[in-house]
Structures are given as C-alpha cells and as structure tokens.
Amino acid sequence: MRSFQFVSIVIFLSVYIFISYFNTVTLKNLFQAQKQKLFQFIHGSYSLLLLLIFIFLYIYPNKPRDASNYSFYFYFNAILFIDFFTKISVFIAGIISIFVKKSKTLIFAALIIASGFGFVMIYGLIFGNKQVQVSKIDIEYSTLPAEFNGFKIAHISDIHLGSFRKTNTVLKKAAIRMEKVKPDLIIFTGDLVNSFAHETDGWETVFNKISSIAESYSILGNHDYGNYTRWENDDAKTDNLNEIISSHQRFGFQILRNQNTVIKSGNDSIFLMGVENWGHAPFPQYANWEKASEGIPDNAFTILMSHDPALWESQIKGKKNINLTLSGHTHGLQWGVKLAGITFSLSYFTRKNWNGVYRHENSFLNVNTGLGTVGIPWRIDMPAEISVITLKRGKVDRE
C-alpha cells in the first residue's frame, strides 16, 4: 500500500510539473514580448510554491497520517485542486491550439471556462458547505407492522467534526430542520470524527439538541476507528476509540456495535440492527453478522445501520432478510451536477450505490451524502443532507 501511495505521488507531481510548464509556455504568448518574462516568473514561482508546500505536507518532513490539525491540509488541498483543474482547461486548449488557427481566441475561451470552474469551487468552499438539504423519501412495505404506518426516520451520516473547525452552522441548521420534521427516530450512520476523540470536545449542546428530538441511535464509521493516523502504541489507539464511543453516548446516541434493539410503536415492534464498519479493501471489515442479528426472528421487519453501502450490495441484497439498510460513507464526493432533476456525481464511476434509494425486490438501501466534509472542505451542488424516510404500509395480500 505504501509503495502504491509513493508511486501515485510521483505520478501526480510529474503530471503537475508538465502541465504547469505547458501552461506557462501557452499563456506567455498572450502577453507582449516585454511582459512575457515577468509572466513566466510569476506563474512559475506560484506553481513552484504550491509544489514545495505539497512536498512539505505530503512527503517531507510531514505526512497526512501524522497530522492532527486538518485545516491547513484541507485548504491547501482546495487551492491545489482549483489550480490543477483550471490548468487542465488551459492545457487542453493549448493542445488544440497547436492544430487550429486563432489560437489566442481559443486560449482566452479556456481561461474564461477555467475562471468559471474556479468560481464554482470557491463558492462551494465558502458557501456550499454550509447548506443543508432535507430529502423526503417514502418507502412502502406490505410487511410493515400496522402501528408503524407513517413512521418517520431522520437519517444523517458522516459528520467529521474535525473538519468543522468549531463552526457549528451546519449542525445548528440540521437541528432546526429536524425539529420541523418531527421524526420518530433519528439514525446516525457513522464517521463522527476524522480520527481523534478530541474533535468531539465542545459539541454537547448542539448534539443534545438533536438527540432530544427523538430516540437516537448510531454506529461507527471507518474514520472513527483511528486507522488513518499513527499511534504511539495500540493502547493509545484503543483509548481514542473508547473516548469516541463515549462521545456518541454523551451526545445522546445509543451506539450499536454488532448489536440490535427493539423499536416499539403502540403494540407493534420492529428491529434495529447496527454493525461495525464493513467495506471493500482497503476499508476495514469488522461487521459480525451472527452477533448483530442474535435474537431477531426470521420474519421480523428489520432496519440495518451499515456505514458503508458496500455491505448491502455484497452481503445483504438477495441474501438476507433486511427490509431497509441505512448507509453513508460516499459523501457523493461532495461534488455533483443536477440536470433535469437528476443528480450526477463522479461517485457513479467509483461505486454502484452512492446516493439516494436503491431497491432489490423488497429490500431497500438509502445512502445519505453526509453533513460534514473530508479531504477538501467544500460541497459543490452536493449539500449536507438529512434523509427523512417515511415508512408506509402497503396493501397486504390476504390470499
């Protein structure tokens, strides 16, 4: 894995250097001769500065796995991504201009397009990550117990407290939205933190406001186990995990770790099951199905909390009697495009189930795109999400 990461970094740096050089050569022709050297110096110095910061943060003397303060990494990632993406636009135009006339017009057009992309990204960085969307979903079952007809579940996921930098705008908005929805149950499907338990300090007020709205349950996500940082020893890692688990409870959430519980409504009941994270490699596979399903009758209406939707696709769909699976993890890559009412994200190319509701026979999956951010602190047409799922009882076949 380490060799793969090193090769990826070398490839990225090589591509970045080549594209930056090509951009310098392409854009200098837009200036008068006496200003070309000045432009080359400014553009080259700027690109070299980004390159040196990248090496400083990712190669030597620092490494992301050793970082506990994410802000500098995340904002640098945003600047680097904006720079690289806009340079790609000019690079493509520069290649085409070699073979066509009026090349300057083409380059100017590429600069306008690149500026547009840059503006959209900056908007997502400053404003887009503070928007909260409520997605209303109705799911109908003929097997739903009668007392649960109209039962509302508020599903949230992927909060990543370390990325909020003590700004609680999103969580305050989430609390207000959920108060208006008045759910019967609140489900949080993991990734409370980026890595460290100290990220949970000072958040009790807003979380207790959320969990006081309705009975609240949670599970762990892949980031909560502390696998993405270096620890002095195994005890330090275990202590960190235990503190994160305590934070779930301190925030008013009953955490299920390969466990299940009964949810009652009137004289009827359903089962809620929560498993440890399970994902395709390199993500951990801690789910223990036998332990999690212990005591659940075969014909019981069951809701499963699984952080990674890969579990539904690989282990649940068509194999186990689970009526509804609630997942997160994908974030919708925090970047999407809505066209004709259809949301598209590059997540489509990386995983089959990345956002919204999926169905196989009588088994449903809802993938929530999360409240927080990771990697880059932006959301571009992929706002923080609260999924409000209303369970409805369909016609019962009495024949």
DSSP designation for 382: -
Separation of first and last alpha carbons in the chain = 57
Q: How confident is the model at residue 229 (pLDDT cuts 50, 70, 90)?
A: very high
Query: Residue 120: is its pLDDT beyond 90?
Result: yes
Query: Residue 81: is its pLDDT beyond 90?
Result: yes
Query: Residue 399: is its pLDDT beyond 50?
Result: no
Question: Do 138 and 118 belong to one domain?
Answer: no
pLDDT value of residue 97: 86
Q: How confident is the model at residue 63 (pLDDT cuts 50, 70, 90)?
A: confident
pLDDT value of residue 65: 85
Distance CA 186, CA 73 (A): 32
Mean pLDDT over residues 177-198, rounded?
97
pLDDT value of residue 135: 97
Distance CA 251, CA 197 (A): 13
Question: Do 7 and 48 belong to one domain?
Answer: yes
The CATH number assigned to the domain holding 240 equals: 3.60.21.10
Distance CA 76, CA 53 (A): 8
What would the pLDDT profile of 255-288 be if each residue is shown by its tens digit? 999 999 999 999 999 999 999 999 998 898 999 9
Query: Residue 148: is its pLDDT beyond 50?
Result: yes
Question: Do 106 and 136 belong to one domain?
Answer: no
Question: Do 259 and 193 belong to one domain?
Answer: yes
CB atoms within 10 A of CB 129: 25
What would the pLDDT profile of 324-336 be if each residue is shown by its tens digit? 999 999 999 999 9
What would the pLDDT profile of 20-36 be if each residue is shown by its tens digit? 999 999 998 888 888 99
pLDDT value of residue 357: 97
- 224: containing domain: 132-393
Question: Do 32 and 174 belong to one domain?
Answer: no
Question: Do 159 and 112 belong to one domain?
Answer: no
The residue with greater pLDDT, 295 or 97, is: 295
Query: Residue 176: is its pLDDT beyond 90?
Result: yes
pLDDT value of residue 222: 97
Count: domains in the chain: 2
Q: What is the mean pLDDT of the chain?
A: 93
The residue with greater pLDDT, 3 or 106, is: 106
Mean pLDDT over residues 56-72, rounded?
86
In sign, the C-alpha dihedral spanning 185, 190, 194, 199 is: positive
Amino acid at 326: L
pLDDT value of residue 29: 83
Query: Residue 379: is its pLDDT beyond 50?
Result: yes
Lookup result for tokens 């699984």: 306
Question: Do 121 and 139 belong to one domain?
Answer: no
Short-list 264, 273, 261, CA closest to 315? 273
Query: Residue 69: is its pLDDT beyond 80?
Result: no
Please check whether residue 387 is in contact with residue 368, taking contact to mean a CB–CB distance below 8 angstroms: yes
Please check whether residue 170 is in contact with residue 371, taking contact to mean a CB–CB distance below 8 angstroms: yes
Q: Which of 249-253, 348-352, 385-389 has the lowest mean pLDDT?
A: 348-352
Of 76, 100, 126, which residue constitutes the final position of a domain?
A: 126
pLDDT value of residue 1: 39
Enumerate residues 6+ apart whose C-beta is below 8 A from 129: 170, 334, 373, 377, 378, 379, 384
- Is 398 inside a domain boundary? no
Question: Do 207 and 335 belong to one domain?
Answer: yes
Query: Residue 398: is its pLDDT beyond 50?
Result: no
* Polymer length in residues for the chain: 399
Beta bridge pairs of residue 133: 385
Question: Do 76 and 157 belong to one domain?
Answer: no
Mean pLDDT over residues 314-320, rounded?
94
pLDDT value of residue 254: 98
Question: Do 144 and 194 belong to one domain?
Answer: yes
- Is 399 inside a domain boundary? no
Question: Do 326 and 358 belong to one domain?
Answer: yes
Question: Do 144 and 45 belong to one domain?
Answer: no
